[in-house]
């Protein structure tokens, strides 16, 4: 049972009462795949996650990193963009003294607020962001059509992330696997971005589960 907090502190997504902005727009199946070939990209929404932005007060960065580790099991390095990803939760640096933390647990944000306490601030964004996973051997190829960022092994180790934009659409990207990336976009842009992503992935051939 999630801790009872006012919604402005923690407002976990109640699946039975929640609607994704992509509802009715996610068509499952294979697209753009030539006969006899398999899709080289997989796309899917990770709906219902708990997502929060943690901002440290100056001089309290390490305490905030510790709070994130305690809450989301994500051990974070100091370098810009550093991140960590586990099965159930992850976090990455999105700006100086700022991290985006996400996870499956509905208590994540409330727990973070407790753990961070006076060392910084926590803002619940569970409803404000849509997370789309792009996976597969051509994931970088597809994302490179949209974002002017280097997603190579050397530039972005697993777990790390960054903040960028595709024209008007602000996006935060975390590398979550060998070829897997989670793209966080503002909820209001999610539908447009999903269609754009699908269109961009058509060349490579993609699958939506």
Partner 1 sequence: MTSHRISTGGRIDRDKPVAFTFDGKRYSGFEGDTLASALLASGVRLFGRSFKYHRPRGLLAAGYEEPNALVTVTTDGAREPNIRATELEIHDGLVAESQNRFPSLAYDLMAVNGLAGKVFSAGFYYKTFMGPVIGPLKGTRFWMFCETFIRRAAGLGAAGTTPDPSRYERMNAFCDVLVVGSGPSGLEAARKAAADGKRVILCETAASFGGTANWSGKDGEMFADTVLSGLKSEPNVQLLNRTTVWGYYDGNTLAALERVTDHVGRPRAGKPRHRHWVIRAGHVVIATGALERGFVFPGNDRPGVMLADSAQRFACEYGALPGRRMVVFANNDSAYQAAARLRERGAEIVAIVDVRPTVGDWAQSLAAEAGAETIPAHAVTGTSGGKSLTGVTIRGFDAETGNLSGSKRRIACDTLLVSGGWSPVLHLASQAGAKPVWSDKLHAFLPPESDGAWEAVGSAAGEGIEPPEPVFEIAATGGKAFVDFQHDVTADDVRLAHREGFQSVEHLKRYTTLGMATDQGKTANVPGMAIMAAALGKPIPEVGTTRFRPPFTGASLGALAAERYGDLRPERLTPMHDQHVAAGANMYAAGLWFRPESYNRPGETVEEAYVREARNVRRNVGIVDVSTLGKIDIQGPDAGEFLNRVYTNNFGSLPVNKARYGLMLREDGFALDDGTTWRLSEDRFLMTTTTANAGRVMQHMEFYLECVWPDLRVNLTSVTDQWAGAAVSGPKSRDVLAACVKLTKVDNDTLPFMGIVHGKIAGAPVMICRLSFSGERAYEVYCGAHHGPHVWDALMNAGASHDIQPYGLEALGTLRIEKGHVTGAEIDGRTTARDLHLDWMLSKKKPFIGSAMMDREGLTDPRRWTLVGVISLSGEKLRGGSHIVDGPAEKPGRSLGHITAMCYSPLYGKYIGLALVENGVARIGTRGFATDPARSKTHIPVEFVNHVFYDPKGGRMHG
Binding site for partner 1 (CB under 8 A): 6-8, 11, 13-14, 16-21, 23-24, 32, 34, 48, 53, 55, 57, 120-121, 123-129, 144-150, 152, 154-155, 167-169, 186-189, 191-193, 195-196, 199-200, 202-205
* CA 49 to chain CA centroid, nearest Å: 9
User: What is the closest distance, in whole angstroms, from the C-beta atom of residue 70 to partner 1 in the complex?
Assistant: 20
CB atoms within 10 A of CB 80: 11
Of 86 and 147, nearer to partner 1 (C-beta) is: 147
Of 19 and 79, nearer to partner 1 (C-beta) is: 19
Of 84 and 166, nearer to partner 1 (C-beta) is: 166
Of 55 and 82, nearer to partner 1 (C-beta) is: 55
- Could you tell me the CA-to-CA distances from 136 to 39, 125, 158 in Å, in that order? 8, 27, 14
Alpha carbons 131 and 162: distance in angstroms, whole number: 14
- Could you tell me the CA-to-CA distances from 39 to 31, 33, 36, 183, 198 in Å, in that order? 8, 6, 10, 20, 12
User: What is the closest distance, in whole angstroms, from the C-beta atom of residue 196 to partner 1 in the complex?
Assistant: 6
User: What is the closest distance, in whole angstroms, from the C-beta atom of residue 41 to partner 1 in the complex?
Assistant: 11
User: What is the closest distance, in whole angstroms, from the C-beta atom of residue 35 to partner 1 in the complex?
Assistant: 10
Alpha carbons 188 and 129: distance in angstroms, whole number: 8
What angle, rounded to 10 degrees, do the helices at 61-72 and 108-116 form? 150
Of 83 and 194, nearer to partner 1 (C-beta) is: 194
User: What is the closest distance, in whole angstroms, from the C-beta atom of residue 188 to partner 1 in the complex?
Assistant: 4
Q: What is the largest CA-CA distance in the chain?
A: 58
């Amino acid at each position: 049972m999630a801790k009872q907090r006012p919604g402005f502190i923690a407002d976990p997504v109640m699946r039975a009462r929640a609607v994704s902005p992509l509802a009715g727009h996610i068509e499952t199946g294979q697209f753009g795949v030539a006969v006899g070939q398999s899709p080289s990209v997989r796309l899917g929404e990770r709906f219902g996650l708990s997502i929060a932005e943690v901002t440290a007060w100056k001089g309290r960065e390490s305490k905030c990193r510790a709070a994130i580790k305690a809450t989301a099991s994500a051990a974070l390095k100091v370098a810009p963009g550093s991140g960590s990803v586990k099965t159930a939760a992850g976090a990455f640096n999105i700006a100086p003294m700022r991290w985006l933390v996400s996870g499956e647990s509905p208590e994540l944000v409330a727990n973070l607020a407790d753990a961070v306490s006076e060392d910084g601030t926590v803002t619940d964004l569970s409803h404000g962001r849509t997370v789309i996973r792009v996976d597969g051997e051509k994931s970088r190829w597809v994302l490179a059509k949209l974002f002017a960022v280097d997603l190579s092994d050397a530039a972005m180790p697993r777990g790390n992330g960054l903040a960028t934009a595709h024209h008007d659409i602000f996006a935060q990207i975390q590398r979550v696997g060998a070829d897997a990336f989670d793209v966080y976009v503002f909820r209001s842009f999610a539908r447009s971005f999903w269609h754009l992503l699908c269109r961009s992935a058509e060349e490579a051939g993609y699958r939506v589960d």
